[in-house]
Amino acid sequence: RKGVVVITGASSGLGLATAKALAETGKWHVIMACRDFLKAEKAAQSAGMAKESYTVMHLDLASLDSVRQFVHNFRQSERPLDVLVCNAAIYRPTARTPTYTANGYEMSVGVNHLGHFLLANLLLEDLKKSDYPSRRLIILGSITGNTNTLAGNVPPKAGLGDLRGLAGGLNGRNSSAMIDGGDFDGAKAYKDSKICNMLTMQEFHRRFHEETGITFASLYPGCIATTGLFREHIPLFRLLFPPFQRFITKGFVSEEESGRRLAQVVSDPSLAKSGVYWSWNKDSASFENQLSQEASDTAKARKLWEVSEKLVGLA
């Protein structure tokens, strides 16, 4: 049978490119888990994806009810779940004030981390039940976790501190809207959320890999400077960022190439190792990358897990 992969945020950028790459192999049925049904359907069609290769299902990660409803709907479809890709994200670098999810959590961390944290925990049951030879749970990371690169050190640097803002409810009222308890900074909130994504992947690996055999992985797909992720940035940045990445840092990758990379993490037998943060070198060869000290801090990963469980209603 075909493998079944759920990809969140498959309506644009990396998610769409990956959905297309997997659908084209004829070996995968892609569940596009998206907040805008019509946009996702149009995106799939204009990417030339064959009708029978995908299903669009509604998922808004800014609402924990929507996450639970998605899991319910997916189970009603009676498809198995072989791979889950937590790819959706928002980035609000120019925001001066925080916005909040339906549950009152700062939006970047609420969507990128907490929504996915609940989704992945609920769908773990479905992954366990699958009889697919290589079941995987993939959470998108970012270069923020690399200390061996220039881009990983551009301010504002990520930092979760002692998680006091998150533990306080990340609501900007009786707690800070930032995980570390500091003043709101939209770019930092995104970077913090990506650290959470990488810590969560490793904590999943420690808790469940041995028992379940499921592969847990994260990756930095390269700088895909053309995606919608930068849609909220100032126009001058959006004009200069792609050529800067292409010619100066040389970290630029096309959406197509990044889609091929993520598709490898989904299905390539040589990328089946669990607990790994994958990256690619200049020749587009994959390698196991090192994470920064904070992004591989086991005590912080455990604490993040426990606080997150409370915020999403799992504990």
Q: Which of 43, 83, 72, 37 is nearest to 56 (CA)?
A: 37
Please give the full DSSP string across 142-208, using - where no structure is assigned: -GGG-SSSSGGGPSSPP--TT-HHHHTTS-SSSS-SSTTS----HHHHHHHHHHHHHHHHHHHHHHH
Residue nearest to ligand NDP (CB): 13
CB of 47 to ligand NDP, least distance (A): 13
Query: Judged by CB under 6 A, does residue 7 bind ligand NDP?
Result: no
Q: Are 53 and 192 in contact (CB under 8 A)?
A: no
CA distance 61 to 112: 8
Among 12, 171, 264, 274, binds ligand NDP (CB under 6 A): 12
| x/- track of binding to ligand NDP for residues 193-212 (CB under 6 A) | -x------------------
Stretch touching ligand NDP by CB under 6 A, among 54-62, 119-127, 267-275, 302-310: 54-62
Stretch touching ligand NDP by CB under 6 A, among 13-21, 119-127, 265-273, 282-290: 13-21
Please tell me which residue in 54, 190, 220, 277 is annotated as part of the active site.
190
CA distance 106 to 189: 8
Query: Judged by CB under 6 A, does residue 224 bind ligand NDP?
Result: yes
Q: In the chain, how many H helices and how many E strands?
A: 10, 8
Residues 34-53 that bind ligand NDP (CB under 6 A): 34-36, 39
CB of 94 to ligand NDP, least distance (A): 15
CA distance 50 to 52: 6
Max Cα distance, the chain (Å):
51
Indicate the DSSP class of residue 223. Answer: B
CB of 229 to ligand NDP, least distance (A): 4
CB of 90 to ligand NDP, least distance (A): 5
Residues 99-128 that bind ligand NDP (CB under 6 A): 111
Query: Judged by CB under 6 A, does residue 18 bind ligand NDP?
Result: no
Query: Judged by CB under 6 A, does residue 220 bind ligand NDP?
Result: yes
User: With the C-alpha atoms ordered 216, 221, 227, 230, is the resulting torsion angle positive or negative?
Assistant: positive
Among 22, 31, 62, 71, binds ligand NDP (CB under 6 A): 62
Place of tokens 């569940």: 31
Q: Which is nearer to ligand NDP, 176 or 279 (CB)?
A: 279
91 is catalytic: no
Number of residues that bind ligand NDP (CB under 6 A): 30
CB of 243 to ligand NDP, least distance (A): 14
CA separation (Å) from 81 to 74, 215, 255? 9, 13, 25
**Do β-strands 215-219 and 276-280 pair in parallel, antiparallel, or remain unpaired?**
parallel
Query: Judged by CB under 6 A, does residue 223 bind ligand NDP?
Result: yes
Stretch touching ligand NDP by CB under 6 A, among 22-30, 87-95, 163-171, 271-279: 87-95
Q: Are 178 and 193 in contact (CB under 8 A)?
A: no
Structure tokens, 79: 């498809």
Where in the sequence numbering do the catalytic residues fall? 190
| Binding region for ligand NDP (CB under 6 A) | 8-9, 11-15, 34-36, 39, 59-62, 87-90, 111, 140, 142, 194, 220-221, 223-224, 227-229
